[in-house]
Amino acid sequence: MNNTRVLLAKRPEGLPSPDCFILHESRAPSLAPGTVRCKTDFLSIDPYMRSVIGGNHMGQTVEVGGVIPGEAVATIIESDNSDWPVGLQVRCKTGWQSISDHQTAELSRIPQGLTQPSLALSILGMPGLTAFAGLTSLAKVGAGDTILIPAAIGGVGAMAGQLCRLAGAKTIGISSGPDKCKIATHKLGYTHCIDRLHGDIAEQLQAVAPEGIDVYFDLVGDPILTIAAQQLALNGRVILCGLIQDYNGQIKTMGPPPGLWIGKRATVMGLVVYDFEHQREAFERGYTPLVEQGLIQGNESIYQGLAQAPQAFCDMMNGAALGKVIIAV
């Protein structure tokens, strides 16, 4: 059985380019006892991978020549464990390849009743859980709050904006270009969306939130982090979650000086989604029906075929993708 894999050809410097990756065909070995073999259906492409392939993301790395890691929805095609039968669709860390073998402990079921399986990687997957953990457990967003979400239509942002809207908050997104801003306001229901490519971000923010912002969910680092901090309302909350600009290695976010946090009486919280695995089941159970009923919209940018994964990754990292990036393998 042939396995198509995407390997790291070289570590990127700055914005990644497709030539950092190379497609490779190999033969899959025979299946080890007790394990299962999966065929990748949908592969999730996420910003944190930029630091993994750069050499370090919270201890996780990949060497040049190694398979790029990643999570996917996959179908079991061979099984040596009757609890995980052939034909079952699961979520697992396949990496960027068409075939992967797993211990059953590495598999999880996708949410019950989900019509569109790829959503288990986006709105109902790790990005959705990230938004849920940050806004529900940490920031405790509620009616009356004004919240700012950069990368508004991305994997985390799309769920974050909709969770806040459902909570009764005024939601302000930041995105790049009129098409993406229109997705934010028309599809995802943001109250406003600031186009970071047209006009001064700070001035636009001041115009739509003159009373300041109560919650800022940082996914990008500076310069937007510092702008948001300057326009934070007194007693504002800030979730620090991602640093996409830093992942590209173009800047080193220092954030605002502590004196600004003091003046704002801010509460600043670091979020790592891996800490919230215990909330995943409740999250999926609560939100799958809302997604199925169309009360929460998925927003995926689906690329066809594993060969497109490098380009899809690069589009995401330079802001060209129109939603959570998924590869239909």
DSSP readout, 107-118?
Answer: -EEPPTT-SSGG
Element spanning 315, H or E: helix 309-317
What span, in angstroms and rounded, lies between the C-alpha atoms of 177 and 160? 20
Please, which residues have CB within 8 angstroms of residue 56's CB and are 6 or more apart in sequence?
Answer: none
Q: Applying CB under 8 A, what is the total number of residues that bind a second copy?
A: 28
As measured in angstroms, the least distance from the Cβ of 219 to a second copy is 11
Strand 146-149 relative to strand 170-175: parallel, antiparallel, unpaired? parallel
Stretch that binds a second copy, among 62-70, 97-105, 158-166, 261-269 (CB under 8 A): 261-269
Nearer to a second copy, 96 or 247 (CB): 247
As measured in angstroms, the least distance from the Cβ of 258 to a second copy is 4
Nearer to a second copy, 77 or 269 (CB): 269
Encoded tokens for 41: 């259906």
Q: Which positions from 45 through 84 interact with a second copy, judged by CB under 8 A?
A: 58
User: Among 111, 104, 112, 110, which Cα is nearest to 84's?
Assistant: 104
Q: Which of 18, 212, 263, 319 binds a second copy (CB under 8 A)?
A: 263
SS3 (DSSP) at 232: strand
Structure letter (DSSP) for residue 221: -
Q: Which of 266, 312, 316, 329 binds a second copy (CB under 8 A)?
A: 266
Contacts with a second copy, 203-222, as mask; x by CB under 8 A: ---------------x--x-
Q: Which of 28, 269, 320, 322 binds a second copy (CB under 8 A)?
A: 269
Cβ–Cβ < 8 Å for 111, 275: no
Cβ–Cβ < 8 Å for 204, 194: yes
Q: Which positions from 144 through 203 interact with a second copy, judged by CB under 8 A?
A: none
Stretch that binds a second copy, among 12-20, 69-77, 111-119, 251-259 (CB under 8 A): 251-259
Binding residues (CB under 8 A) for a second copy: these are 58, 218, 221, 225, 240-241, 243, 246, 252-255, 257-259, 261-272, 275
